Amino acid sequence: MDVQFSPCGTYIAIARDNNCALVYDIRNATTPMHVFGHVTYSRDDMETRFAMRGGDKASYGIANLGWMGSNTLVTGGADGCVRRWNIGVATRNMGGKAIARLDQPVAHLSFADESLAHRYPLIAGDMEGKVYVFDYSVGDNGGSLL
Domain boundary assignment for the chain: 3-137
Residue ranges in the chain whose pLDDT is less than 70: 40-60, 90-95, 112-120, 136-146
- pLDDT at position 99, please? 86
- pLDDT at position 24, please? 95
- pLDDT at position 139, please? 43
Span 21-31, pLDDT tens digits: 999 999 998 99
> What is the side-by-side strand order in the sheet with 34-37?
3-5, 11-15, 20-25, 34-37
Q: Which of 125, 88, 121 is nearest to 104 (CA)?
A: 125
Q: What 3-state class would DSSP assign to 146?
A: coil
Q: Return d(Cα 15, Cα 11) in angstroms, integer.
A: 13
Distances (CA, A) of 36 to 80, 89, 94: 15, 13, 6
- pLDDT at position 142, please? 47
- pLDDT at position 60, please? 66
- pLDDT at position 118, please? 55
Q: Return d(Cα 103, Cα 45) in angstroms, integer.
A: 15
- pLDDT at position 89, please? 78
Span 98-112, pLDDT tens digits: 888 898 889 899 876
- Beta-bridged to residue 82, according to DSSP, are 76, 100
- pLDDT at position 115, please? 56
Fold of the CATH domain 3-137: Methylamine Dehydrogenase; Chain H (2.130.10)
